A and B are shown apart, each in its own frame.
Chain A
Amino acid sequence: MEANALHDLTAAYALDALDSEDARAYEAHLARCERCREELAELSDAAGALAYGTEAPMPPPELRARILQEAARERPNVVPLRPRWIKPVAAIAAVAACTAIGLGIWAATLSSKLDRSESRLARQERVAQILARPGSRTISFTRGTLVVAPNGEAALVLRNLASAGNGRTYEAWIAAEGAPEPAGLFAGGGAVAIPLDRPVPEGATVMVTKEPAGGRKSPSSQPFAIVRNAAQS
């Protein structure tokens, strides 16, 4: 099947409305097509919402016990790898810290086994440090959370951010008194947790724009996320 025809199958796949042959062809295509992966993530959430559109009587109580017994019986022998970069206790502390401030999605990313490039590890470790610093404040906004340590060191956590796309990047900015200054680049494609490259003074504003790959010295587009490090009262 041609690629164009495969693009068109995203909604049907999200609804499980493909025959098995088409579904396999689409899955193979999905592995190569970033655009379809993004579109599928969006459409699948809408399809998943349909599950709530129907009556939900209580299942028989035995069902729960049966599922748990069966799971215990076939408990996998392989113990999943734990990320090597972080000691278990530290990992649990970091996950707990994230969870406590509502960053559960990032917590899941942190403890999942995926996508552990070195640079990303180093970033995650720095974010974990900033989170763990005594006196760190969290400021929630629509797209996520800004965490600011007492010394101004800060991390930005964004929920479900679509990938910036080919030849593009997200760029964070900090605007204190004058023009916004660049504070870090990231690619998106899921939950994002990045340390900012410069401290965030009280009263400053942190924002995010989409820019050409490599970033820019000043923002070229409207910020789509913006949060102010309001002075503490």
Chain B
Amino acid sequence: MRETARPVVRSFAHLSDEAVVALLARSDESALAELYDRFGRVAYGLALRILRDDKLAEDAVQEGFLTAWRNADRFMPERGKASTWLLTLVHRRSVDLVRREDRRRAEPLSENVEPETSGSAEDDAWLRFERERVQSALKQLPDQQREALELAYYGGFSQTELAERLGQPVGTIKSRMFTGLARLRELLAEPGNGEAAWKPTPYTT
């Protein structure tokens, strides 16, 4: 296997995720490395949660990142964040695999995942903070909405399967997912930014 030549040393630290994906669309391999360093760990944690198997999780992450590599020119910044786009690719791949393997379980990963972090202290702290933020938002949802989101997103169940499993009409499942996700979005939105405090200055006519 030949070593990838890296004639140009770039500093990506100040580039937004979206700008890194724009470089990815120019087949810049160091942009792919940067993207992996930013999201590889989260992507792997997600795939592992869905697939419950190291090897399958690695496959899902690899295929998700390679799909990003092949299709970076299709990423549209106006349609959403680069992180969402990338994690969606990994998630979709994981869900495909779990449905094929039919190995899904929806319970949270238990003790068997030892938090053998060994990432940088900053990464660890930041990921822990994010995890707590998302989990606390989830806890604020009504049980049925949280259940629908968790089974769908972490369990890989389709809405039809969820309807069967929970003994509810598909329409009910759809509306729980919609309401839950919309509420989750509100809960995760940063509170108290400047706009709320703005008062109109009277413009005289």
Using CB atoms and an 8 Å cutoff, list the residues of chain A in contact with chain B: 8-12, 14-19, 37, 40-60, 63-64, 66-72, 74-76, 79-80, 95, 99-100, 104-105, 107-109, 111-115, 141-143, 160, 175, 178-180, 189-191, 205, 218-219, 222-226
**B27→A76 contact, CB < 8 A:** yes
Q: Which residue of A lies closest to B156 (CB)?
A: A16
**A11→B177 contact, CB < 8 A:** yes
Contact of B158 among A18, A63, A64, A68 (CB under 8 A): A18
**A95→B19 contact, CB < 8 A:** yes
Q: Which residue of A lies closest to B203 (CB)?
A: A179
**B153→A19 contact, CB < 8 A:** no
**B16→A104 contact, CB < 8 A:** yes
B130 close to chain A: CB less than 8 A: yes
**B4→A47 contact, CB < 8 A:** no
Residues of chain A within 8 A (CB-CB) of B77 are 105, 108-109, 112, 190-191
**B182→A64 contact, CB < 8 A:** no
Q: A42-B185, A63-B61 are in contact. Are A69 and B4 (CB under 8 A)?
A: yes
Q: Which residue of A lies closest to B80 (CB)?
A: A41
Residues of chain B within 8 A (CB-CB) of A51 are 42-43, 45-46, 87, 90-91
Residues of chain B within 8 A (CB-CB) of A47 are 84, 88, 91, 153, 181
**A15→B152 contact, CB < 8 A:** yes
- How distant is the Cα of A57 from the Cα of B37 in the complex, in angstroms? 14
Size bin of chain B's contact surface: 35 or more
Ordered by A's residue number, 21 sampled pairs between the chains whose C-beta atoms are within 8 Å are: A12-B158, A16-B95, A16-B156, A37-B79, A47-B88, A48-B87, A52-B42, A57-B48, A59-B57, A67-B61, A67-B66, A68-B36, A71-B32, A75-B29, A99-B19, A107-B22, A109-B18, A112-B22, A112-B75, A160-B78, A190-B77
**B178→A113 contact, CB < 8 A:** no
Residues of chain A within 8 A (CB-CB) of B41 are 56-59
- How distant is the Cα of A114 from the Cα of B82 in the complex, in angstroms? 15
B109 close to chain A: CB less than 8 A: yes
**B78→A191 contact, CB < 8 A:** yes
**B32→A67 contact, CB < 8 A:** yes
Residues of chain B within 8 A (CB-CB) of A11 are 174, 177-178, 180-182
- How distant is the Cα of A61 from the Cα of B87 in the complex, in angstroms? 19
**A48→B84 contact, CB < 8 A:** yes
Residues of chain A within 8 A (CB-CB) of B174 are 8-9, 11-12
B103 close to chain A: CB less than 8 A: no
Q: A45-B81, A108-B77 are in contact. Are A17 and B158 (CB under 8 A)?
A: yes
